[in-house]
Chains A and B, each alone.
Chain A
Amino acid sequence: MANEILYSDLLTNGGAVAEVLSGLVAQQLYDASDLRSVSTFIPYNTFGSTSMAVTQDAVPGAFGSIAEAASVANTTYTTSEFVLAVSRYSRAYEITDLVGISGSPVDLGRAVKNLVDGVSLTFTDLICAATPGFTTQVNAGGTLAVDDIYDGQFALNLVANSGPYNCILHPKQINEFRNSLRAEAGAMQFQDPTAEMLATKGPGFQGMWNNIAFYSSDSVTNAAGNHLGAMMSAGALAHTMAPVALMQGHVPSSNLIVSTPELLVELSRDAYGAQSAAIAHMYPGVVLAEDNRGVEILSVV
């Protein structure tokens, strides 16, 4: 036999190409944790400043015993405050016309979607950078164990925090916690949430255990050889988002690709270079609102 049509010959002679790009675009693995739910949203409402002070009301006090006909002294009304300062965060993708002409499944629309997905990641980074500010720490210098979670719980309980608590841990801390939990004996051993907590999940929400919502995020930072996780009650963290819609007047409406209260994506066309860019801006701010509402949970890296 001779003159068979071989694939290798076709590759050489132009009858076939080595590989064809599939129209399907698969997502690479990444940590998509959105931790905004553990933080209190404060509407941005400033006049002539990028910082906004939020008043925390005075703590009510028990009345004092006063003798009959004695005059009562005034009590100082001691308020507190926390300050939210916003800062600019941006990201841009630029794509040449040739990419579109080639029929690539990666186009400007996909780039814009990627930018929108980045909003929650930006917030997660900011939140994880804020939590090392808690002054109380548990478990310095060891691997994380169930006892450390109890220690955090006890520390929050000591200063009058109400549950449920939120606990943000590094994936390695979550592993260590699960490892300790599976050897746990006693009151929690046969509880359903214990078995649930041992099951594998993706990044982000891991489930409720002991009335604590656990989150895993690779944005949890390190310092001095420790992962800096945190446990907190509601109101420990606050965040704001300056409404970028206010600056719509600065941007020609024909250039607006995405315009939400929190995110503005605009198109920039470089006709000389035959390329188009999608540029996104957001102005977030995160603050540790009340120190007593949270503890830092350390474990060796």
Chain B
Amino acid sequence: MSGGTIHLSTPQREENVIKQVTGLPENNKQRAALKFVYVHYPQSWHFNAEHGFLPSLKKMIAKPGVNGVGPKGELTSMLASVRSKGGTFIDPKDHRLGEYKDYVHYYPTQAGGKWYVDFCQKATVLPTGQIVWNTRDTLEPMAEFAAHIRDSGIIEPLMYEFYLGMVEAQKVKVSRLQGRADRNPSVTTKAKQAEAKLDAMQASWEKNNKRLTAKTKAKAKTAKAKAPVLERCVDGE
């Protein structure tokens, strides 16, 4: 075979590809957060000035090798342990979560992985690659999320005994702060805040009780109204 002369007259166009960087950068100091679920234990509650008593949700991280999590992130053993301790698993697929269904969200990472976050977490990536999170802005949406879980019936309501425990602990805190206020003026403000919180806790509990009592009475009236209908049916037979 002989090599003849060839003429090339139409070069192919090399399209200039602009590399677009998207997602979160990972390095040794900024490691991607793993998948997680929330659980709740009956004794874990806190008080929020706006929303009242809220369940303190516990984040269980699906880190292989931790608390029985399997190599592929299997949570079976971990959730069995949660249930054995009286905890409730907040199933992301629970329809009662409403708009919060599938509450585990993620951002893609630049390496092609997933960085799991709460639904309200926002990130800003600086030109240096540093990630700045909007941590303070997540407090209110997370409080709303906790309030929704409390009101949706997914978890048991706050037990009276735990409420009493919280009130007693707050009373001790107020007393402790008031006892030190004369030696340290900065404690005076904290003591007043603690006192206000104690009042708000008691007011919130009372308000909630009245609401529940009214609801129960309304239900009882409805039941009474239905009873004659049943009687009429029975009579009609």
Contacts and interface: CB of A to CB of B under 8 A. Distances in A.
**Genuine A/B complex:** yes
B142 interface: yes
Contacts of A125: 31, 63
B95 interface: no
A87 B183 contact: no
B77 A83 contact: yes
B86 to A, nearest CB: 8
Interface string B30-63: 0101101010010111111000000011111101
Contact of A287 (B46, B59, B66, B142): B66
Contact of B57 (A133, A224, A287, A291): A224
Given A30-B29, A137-B44, A225 B61 contact: no
- Most chain A CB within a 10 A radius of its CB, from B59, B142, B173, B176: B59
Contact of A221 (B61, B146, B176): B61
B146 A87 contact: no
A209 to B, nearest CB: 18
B15 to A, nearest CB: 29
- Of residues B45, B46, B48, B77, which shows the largest number of chain A Cβ atoms within 10 Å of its Cβ? B46
B135 A301 contact: yes
A41 to B, nearest CB: 15
Nearest to A284: B65
A183 B186 contact: yes
A280 interface: no
B65 A186 contact: no
Contacts of B29: 30, 218
Contacts, number: 118
Interface string A272-301: 000000000001111110010000101011
A136 interface: yes
Interface string A126-137: 100110110111
Contacts of A88: 64, 71
A89 B64 CA distance: 9
A147 interface: yes
B169 interface: yes
A129 B139 contact: no
A16 B46 CA distance: 67
Interface residues of A, number: 43
A223 interface: yes
A256 interface: no
A83 B38 CA distance: 21
A44 to B, nearest CB: 12
Interface residues of B, number: 51
A223 B34 CA distance: 12
A183 B46 CA distance: 26
A101 interface: no
Nearest to A298: B56
A40 interface: no
Nearest to B120: A225
- A83, A89, A283 — most chain B CB neighbours (10 Å): A83
A133 B39 CA distance: 9
A286 B66 contact: yes
Contacts of A284: 65
Nearest to B117: A222
Contact of A126 (B41, B65, B183): B65
A267 interface: no
B58 A133 contact: yes
Given A51-B77, A301-B135, 5 more contacts: A88-B64, A89-B65, A135-B85, A186-B183, A228-B59
28 contacts: A88-B64, A89-B64, A126-B63, A129-B63, A129-B66, A129-B67, A133-B58, A133-B67, A135-B85, A136-B44, A137-B46, A137-B56, A141-B48, A147-B176, A222-B135, A223-B36, A223-B38, A223-B118, A224-B38, A224-B57, A224-B118, A225-B136, A225-B138, A283-B65, A286-B65, A287-B66, A287-B68, A301-B135
Interface of A: 30, 50-51, 83, 85-89, 125-126, 129-130, 132-133, 135-137, 140-141, 147, 151, 183, 185-186, 218, 221-225, 228, 283-288, 291, 296, 298, 300-301
